């Protein structure tokens, strides 16, 4: 097994403890060469200031979280999501991010129309894709685990994301997060199909038991995902980028962030 590509810290991993500026300092202190910020933390610091900090720190920005979330109850809401994605694309460009991570969004409140919500996602994506192409920003479609389908992501599988890539064409890619796809019986085939469209590779782990559908992700190595196996698949598909650690976890949010970064580094080296 080859050693893993360079580590990137998704800032949500230390969401409650650190601002973006602190995350940038933390990466420098721990020798972590990559970072992937969330937009709320970017807004706090200001996009221009953040771009300067990131550049001065020499950090590789592996992604910006997050765009998408197109389904909405009415046309006004859908237009607002499209506008917001245009801003997100501009922000991703400004900070030199490898991609904008794009999430499906859930069903509009009160709706049971899943095909309808998926059509809204398709249409919103088609609306902002020209902006992404013009800015040179790859939109990385990230399917989330099916347990989030109702309220967070009607984009549920790599196959579904790649069908959208096939249909809508250049400017789109996929973000492969082991947490969201490890269970998929079709995983090996879809990763091979993705090939050069893999735009991000995220890791954490699936805990047994998992006690929360959103905020109980595990530190790499603490769960049951064969992370090295999935990494071998994405590398066989041509992925030469790094490994972004993204751990949404009440447990780790309550821990000392420097200790979390040390452990992330150890576990990254191990798997």
Q: Pick from 8, 11, 138, 157 the residue near a copy of itself by CB under 8 A.
A: 157
How many CA atoms, within 13 angstroms, populate the side-chain half-sphere of residue 230? 28
Nearest to 182 by CA among 162, 202, 155: 202
Q: Pick from 138, 156, 190, 249 the residue near a copy of itself by CB under 8 A.
A: 156
> Binding of a copy of itself at residue 209 (CB under 8 A)?
yes
Going across the sheet that includes 64-68, the strands are 60-61, 34-36, 7-10, 243-245, 198-203, 172-177, 138-141, 99-103, 64-68
Q: Hey, what are 136's tokens?
A: 């040179």
> Binding of a copy of itself at residue 46 (CB under 8 A)?
no
Shortest approach of a copy of itself to residue 236 CB, angstroms? Answer: 15
Residue carrying the six token digits 């821990």: 255
Which regions of 178-237 does DSSP assign to beta strands (E)? Answer: 198-203
> Binding of a copy of itself at residue 119 (CB under 8 A)?
no
> Binding of a copy of itself at residue 267 (CB under 8 A)?
no
> Binding of a copy of itself at residue 104 (CB under 8 A)?
no
> Binding of a copy of itself at residue 123 (CB under 8 A)?
no
- The helices-and-strands tally (H runs, E runs) of the chain is 11, 9
> Binding of a copy of itself at residue 256 (CB under 8 A)?
no
Q: What residues from 167 to 196 belong to the interface with a copy of itself (CB under 8 A)?
A: 182-186
Nearest to 72 by CA among 108, 98, 48, 99: 108
Q: Pick from 149, 168, 248, 255 the residue near a copy of itself by CB under 8 A.
A: 149
Shortest approach of a copy of itself to residue 160 CB, angstroms? Answer: 4
- If the CB atoms of residues 90 and 149 are measured against a copy of itself, the closer one turns out to be 149
Shortest approach of a copy of itself to residue 124 CB, angstroms? Answer: 17
> Binding of a copy of itself at residue 138 (CB under 8 A)?
no
> Binding of a copy of itself at residue 16 (CB under 8 A)?
no
Q: How far is CA 136 from the centre of its chain?
A: 18
Q: Pick from 16, 40, 83, 113 the residue near a copy of itself by CB under 8 A.
A: 113
Q: What residues from 220 to 239 belong to the interface with a copy of itself (CB under 8 A)?
A: 223-226, 229
Angle at 85 between CA 76 and CA 153, to 5 degrees: 85
Which residues lie closer than 8 Å to 209 by C-beta, 6 or more apart?
Answer: none
Report yes or no: 161 and 138 within 8 Å, Cβ to Cβ: no
- What are the residues binding a copy of itself (CB under 8 A)? 107, 111-114, 118, 145-147, 149-151, 156-157, 159-160, 182-186, 206, 208-211, 213, 223-226, 229
């Amino acid at each position: 097994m080859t050693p893993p590509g360079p580590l990137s810290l998704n800032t949500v991993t230390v969401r409650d403890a650190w601002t973006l500026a602190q995350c940038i300092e933390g990466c420098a202190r721990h020798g972590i060469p990559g970072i992937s910020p969330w937009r709320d933390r970017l807004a706090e610091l200001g996009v221009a200031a953040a771009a300067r900090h990131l550049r001065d720190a020499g950090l590789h920005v592996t992604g910006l979280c997050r765009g998408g979330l197109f389904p909405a109850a009415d046309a006004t809401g859908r237009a607002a999501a499209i506008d917001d994605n245009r801003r997100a694309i501009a922000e991703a460009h400004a900070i030199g991010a490898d991609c904008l991570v794009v999430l499906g969004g859930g069903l509009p409140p009160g709706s049971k129309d899943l095909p309808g919500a998926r059509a809204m996602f398709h249409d919103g994506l088609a609306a902002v894709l020209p902006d992404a192409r013009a800015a040179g920003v790859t939109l990385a479609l990230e399917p989330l685990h099916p347990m989030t389908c109702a309220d967070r992501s009607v984009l549920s599988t790599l196959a579904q994301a790649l069908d959208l890539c096939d249909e809508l064409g250049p400017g789109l890619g996929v973000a492969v997060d082991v947490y969201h796809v490890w269970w998929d019986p079709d995983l090996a085939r879809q990763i091979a199909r993705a090939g050069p469209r893999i735009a991000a590779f995220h890791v954490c782990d699936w805990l047994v038991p998992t006690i929360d559908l959103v905020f109980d992700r595990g530190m790499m190595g603490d769960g049951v995902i064969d992370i090295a196996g999935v990494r071998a698949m994405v590398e066989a598909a041509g992925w030469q980028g790094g490994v972004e650690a993204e751990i949404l976890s009440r447990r780790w949010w309550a821990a000392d962030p420097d200790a979390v970064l040390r452990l992330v580094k150890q576990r990254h080296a191990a798997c």
